[in-house]
Structure 1
Amino acid sequence: MLPRVASASQLITTLNGNALGAGAMGLFFYDGPEKPAIFDLFDGLATILDNTGQKSFPDLVASFPSYLVANVRGTFATFSTSGVAARFLDAVRAEAEAIGQVSALHNGTTVSYDIEPFTQYGQHATDSAYPHGDSLLPQSLATLKQVAKDEGIYQDSFVAYPNYATADTTAEALYGAANVRRLRAIRDRIDPDRVMDLAGGFSL
């Protein structure tokens, strides 16, 4: 994972693990006529698939060889870091290999770790407002969180990105304690009978 060189650039590194081991995938996009110099680091790498080039964003999305598979279940989990470190990346690779091989023993196809730091998550937010009991995710995330703490890129106060969070993630972990107090006050005023609780989702 590289630091964002401008608001127009994005990069997500994915480490996938399965019965054969771990593999890496880099997704990067720059919203401009020419790629930034920092992307030159990817030139000359040996790849299975190279889809780089100048194209519109819709064409970029349509060019990925991805497809939906029926009758496959999975889950997401997340925690935020302020950056990356070499030791943390090594730990992610080790987890991808280990969990991928364990998953394969139970008919699992793959496990993916997306390295996508949200360094200023919520900075521009406005005022608007399926758990698996035997999952290996909590243990895996605990291992990576400890490495991230040791490297100085994670704190318990960092909020988690809701789109990737497990169903039992607390409101405080998603929004921060101060924001949760404000959201609860809004809920008590607008929905005193807790009608919206019937919709499910994360609970305040």
Structure 2
Amino acid sequence: MRSRARVLSSIQASDLEYNDGISHYLSSNSEVSKCVVEPGSAEDVSKILRILGRTRTQFAVKGGGHAFNPGFSSTPGVQIYMRRFSSIHYDAEAQTVEIGIGLLWDDVYAALAPFGVNVVGSRSKGIGVAGPALGGGLSFKSNQYGLTVDTVTSYKLVKPEGQIVTVNSASDSDLFFGLKGGLNNFGIVTTFTLKTFPQTQVWGGVITFVPTELSKVNEAVSFFSSEVKDPRAMINLAYISIMGSIIPAAHIFYDGPTPPTGTFDRFLSISTLTSDVKTRSFLDFFQVGDANATIPRGRSHTLSLQAFTPNIVETIVEQAQFWGSKLATQSGTMVVYVLEPFLPDAFNRSKSATAFPPNRSPAFLPLEAIFEWTSPSSDHIFINAIKESIGNITAAAVEQGQSLVPSLPIYGNYAIDNIPLEQIYGQNVPRLKALKARIDPCNVMGLAGGFKF
């Protein structure tokens, strides 16, 4: 369907394309690399890994560049930029699509739209396919089909010592398990294949609410989380705090032309600042909102809740108000808390074991905190603050009766660095460490950043 020229190139700091290779969504995650290498084939990747492993050279692999932790897809060493892996091949008979790891979900959705099919992918523009395909993948379609990794049928992988293999449940079931959530520990993926699903028109858009209606928004999200059981219905609710003033915004989605009466009525009855909710194509729905412009500095962190009860929602709002106000004097530009009320059984759609999540029950509901700021000298202040805030919400949840929260798995693509692996991978950590030792005995992938087994 589409592809870009597959030619290996090395880009030096003096070349015009160098900045493209090292740039990230967060400028705080862009490091000055020795050089940028753009492989054009799996064979190129194999050669690169062999050289890096032999010389023990630090490196990083970048897809879309949306990682929130410095060093996870950036490096002062060799930056491998995967953008030339841009092919998309739809197989109507098999109902699958093979996707190059250098693409954005924007590209995938646009390519599949003419065929009336879709995949379980990102909810926001400008996100690379690599993170969800290797880290888990939370989607507006997860209530129906599970995580992105639950719909992967195979990966094309360049192993750390250079071997090129296709990995699926039949070829190496343990490695297939590890790639589904295990991030960059087992080599470099060049393409992967996803199941596709029929796609009709959808209903949805973004609503920003009048700040004085905050209590109604709180009630609406708690009601939605506890009472709405339609797997085609989903929202992301963001509490955006600027200098302590909260603007609630909801990204509302129904996977069909019209939602049943009552599904979103509480949100639709609240006074708004803006609203563009309507029946539209999925591609049009996905393109709502501003493009992801580069942000000076930022970090995210996360926890998983058992429920978005009225009490815990109030706690989250209090945290947004407190930190938004306090951090404004330290060059803070925005503090955001995003509630993701998936159905309790959303992650039970697949019965196959995956690296993430380590367990499918009990249910866990992600909450992501995102702090943004401008001054490098304030980095430690914001990193400590976001950790403290997540700790405060965790403690409040336990006090309010959500006793399982400290033991629930958290989503690695949202998590801050330098946390215990068990918080993401739970009881899977020993199995993943043993798999890493088998696949990468020389620890070549240890030369790249990320959560390491």
TM-score by length of 1: 0.88
**Alignment-derived partner of residue 172 in structure 1:** 422
Q: Distance in 2 between matches of 1:86 and 1:193?
A: 50
1:1-204 maps to which residues of 2 (within 5 A)? 1=221, 2-3=224-225, 4-19=228-243, 21-36=245-260, 37-64=262-289, 66-70=290-294, 72-117=296-341, 119=344, 123=348, 124=350, 126-127=353-354, 132-134=379-381, 135=383, 136-153=385-402, 154-176=404-426, 178-204=427-453
Task: Tell whether the 8 Å contact from 1:18 to 1:101 is kept in structure 2 after alignment.
Answer: yes
Structure 1 stretch displaced more, 84-93 or 116-125: 116-125
Q: Distance in 1 between matches of 2:422 and 2:433?
A: 11
Task: Tell whether the 8 Å contact from 1:85 to 1:151 is kept in structure 2 after alignment.
Answer: no
**Partner amino acid for 1:41?**
R
Task: Tell whether the 8 Å contact from 2:235 to 2:341 is kept in structure 1 after alignment.
Answer: no
Deviation at 1:126, TM superposition (A): 4.9
Residue 22 of structure 1 aligns to a residue whose secondary structure is: strand
Deviation at 1:164, TM superposition (A): 0.5
Task: Tell whether the 8 Å contact from 1:82 to 1:117 is kept in structure 2 after alignment.
Answer: no
Task: Tell whether the 8 Å contact from 2:241 to 2:321 is kept in structure 1 after alignment.
Answer: yes
Residue deviations 1:101-128 (CA, integer Å, cap 9, x gap):
1221122111000011464575436546
Deviation at 1:21, TM superposition (A): 1.1
Residue 445 of structure 2 aligns to a residue whose secondary structure is: helix
**Partner amino acid for 1:73?**
R
C-alpha RMSD over aligned residues: 2.1
Identity of aligned residues (%): 27
Residue 266 of structure 2 aligns to a residue whose secondary structure is: helix
Structure ranking higher in strand proportion: 2
Q: Distance in 1 between matches of 2:327 and 2:444?
A: 39
Deviation at 1:31, TM superposition (A): 0.2
Deviation at 1:159, TM superposition (A): 0.5
Q: Distance in 2 between matches of 1:128 and 1:155?
A: 20
Task: Tell whether the 8 Å contact from 1:10 to 1:30 is kept in structure 2 after alignment.
Answer: yes
Residue deviations 1:162-191 (CA, integer Å, cap 9, x gap):
111001122100011x21111011111111
Q: Distance in 2 between matches of 1:200 and 1:69?
A: 24
Residue deviations 1:67-124 (CA, integer Å, cap 9, x gap):
3344511011001112111111111111111111122112211100001146457543
**Partner amino acid for 2:231?**
S
Structure 2: tracts of 5 or more residues without a match: 1-220, 357-378
Deviation at 1:15, TM superposition (A): 0.6
Residue 162 of structure 1 aligns to a residue whose secondary structure is: coil
Q: Distance in 2 between matches of 1:122 and 1:180?
A: 19
Structure 1 residues 38 and 71, CA, compared in 2 at 3 Å: closer, same or farther?
Answer: closer
Deviation at 1:194, TM superposition (A): 1.3
Q: Distance in 2 between matches of 1:34 and 1:113?
A: 28
Q: Distance in 2 between matches of 1:121 and 1:192?
A: 36
Residue deviations 1:8-66 (CA, integer Å, cap 9, x gap):
221111111111511211111010122132211122211111111111221112122x2
Residue 95 of structure 1 aligns to a residue whose secondary structure is: helix
Higher relative contact order, structure no. (Cα contacts within 8 Å, ≥ 6 residues apart): 1
**Partner amino acid for 2:415?**
A
**Partner amino acid for 2:242?**
N
Question: Which is higher, the Rg of structure 1 or of structure 2?
Answer: 2
Residue 49 of structure 1 aligns to a residue whose secondary structure is: strand
Count of matched residue pairs: 200
Q: Distance in 2 between matches of 1:94 and 1:203?
A: 34
**Partner amino acid for 2:274?**
L
Q: Distance in 2 between matches of 1:173 and 1:121?
A: 20
Moved over 6 A (4+): none
Structure 1: tracts of 5 or more residues without a match: none
